[in-house]
């Protein structure tokens, strides 16, 4: 039963990792952009939720009503004013710019909030649980996983059933032809980044409720997000969810063997899958 419980808890943890990874998967699928600052933007969203909650007396989940549009606006402005200027055939300039952005965000958070760990308080939601088939499942992990499924399902539906999704796919497949068809590449990329950071806001809030955070943890969140994306297949949204679940289960199984083995177990499973399937389990096929 302990191993079954570890597997279930790992799958639920995978929902959080899928939220970390969904924004990465989205912007890679549309722009072929690898955002090194993604983890720090997750932490930024957690701090924005903290400030909003304290200032307005809201619960962190209600603060999402303000934090999501703030992060979306930040994403659009960041893409239009900075990243679009360096995007092209060479992938190195965007990598360097997002690395610089990561450093700026970390230091700005240190200046504004100090290095002291913070945590979002969600009251009874943090400790509430339900009994299912002899297992005690936390309401917060269940809510996080359900949110991840809903977000990825909504993004997948948007990609294939809306005009914006068709614009994303057309721009991703061939930017020159999309421009000739009247699509403004800069605007489309801005909307993609806005959508990615809106999802990042959700990830940041659920992270802040689940555990403490400080300005330095963005790098590890980025690694977990990258691993989930790569395991599932770059640009494949449902693959990203599966990648998060696999990574979460690997970590909880590792912790079941030895608590100190938790994070390493996830990295080892990632490395093993990468050796067997270098493009991930379900790589996105263009066209």
- pLDDT, tens digit (0-9, with 9 covering 90-100), for 9-66: 999 999 999 999 999 989 988 888 889 999 999 999 999 999 999 999 889 999 999 9
- Has residue 179 been placed in a domain? yes
Q: Is residue 128 part of a domain?
A: no
Per the structure, the complete domain to which residue 252 belongs is given by 2-107+136-276
pLDDT in tens, 196-220: 999 999 999 999 999 999 999 999 9
Instruction: Note whether 144 and 15 are within 8 A (CB).
Output: yes
What CATH code is carried by the domain that includes residue 23? 1.10.3470
Does residue 287 carry a pLDDT above 70?
Answer: no
Domain-embedded: residue 14: yes
> Is the C-alpha dihedral spanning 177, 182, 184, 189 positive or negative?
negative
Q: Tell whether 152 is covered by a domain.
A: yes
- Residue 116 in tokens: 């002291």
pTM of the model: 0.92
Report pLDDT for 185. 87
Domain count, the chain: 1
**What digits encode the pLDDT tens for the residues 70-99?**
999 999 999 999 999 988 778 888 999 999
What pLDDT score does 28 carry?
86
Give the model's pLDDT for residue 22. Answer: 92
Please tell me the chain's helix, strand, coil percentages from 3-state DSSP, rounded to the nearest 5. Answer: 75, 5, 20
All residues at 6 or more sequence positions from 247 whose CB lies less than 8 Å from its CB, including other chains: 14, 17, 224, 227, 228, 231, 266, 269, 270
Q: Give the pLDDT score at 145.
A: 96
């Amino acid at each position: 039963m302990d191993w079954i419980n570890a597997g279930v808890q790992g799958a639920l943890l995978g929902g959080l990792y899928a939220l970390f990874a969904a924004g990465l998967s989205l912007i890679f699928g549309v722009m072929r952009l690898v955002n090194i600052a993604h983890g720090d933007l997750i932490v930024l969203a957690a701090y924005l939720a903290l400030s909003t909650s304290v200032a307005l007396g809201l619960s962190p989940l209600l603060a999402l009503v303000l934090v999501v549009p703030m992060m979306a606006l930040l994403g659009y402005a960041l893409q239009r004013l900075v990243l679009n200027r360096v995007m092209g055939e060479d992938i190195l300039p965007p990598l360097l710019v997002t690395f610089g952005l990561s450093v700026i965000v970390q230091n700005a958070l240190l200046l504004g909030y100090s290095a002291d760990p913070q945590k979002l308080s969600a009251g009874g939601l943090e400790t509430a649980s339900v009994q299912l088939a002899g297992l005690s499942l936390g309401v917060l992990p269940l809510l996080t996983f359900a949110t991840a499924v809903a977000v990825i399902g909504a993004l997948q539906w948007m990609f294939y059933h809306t005009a914006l999704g068709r614009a994303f796919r057309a721009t991703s497949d061939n930017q020159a032809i999309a421009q000739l068809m009247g699509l403004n590449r800069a605007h489309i990329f801005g909307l993609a980044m806005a959508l990615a950071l809106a999802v990042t806001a959700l990830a940041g809030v659920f992270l802040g409720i689940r555990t403490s955070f400080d300005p330095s943890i963005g790098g590890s969140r980025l690694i977990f997000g990258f691993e989930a994306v790569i395991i599932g297949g770059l640009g494949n949204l449902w693959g990203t969810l599966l990648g998060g679940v696999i990574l979460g289960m690997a970590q909880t199984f590792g912790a079941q063997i030895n608590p100190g083995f938790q994070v390493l177990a996830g990295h080892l499973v990632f490395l093993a899958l990468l050796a067997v399937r270098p493009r991930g389990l379900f790589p996105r096929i263009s066209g």
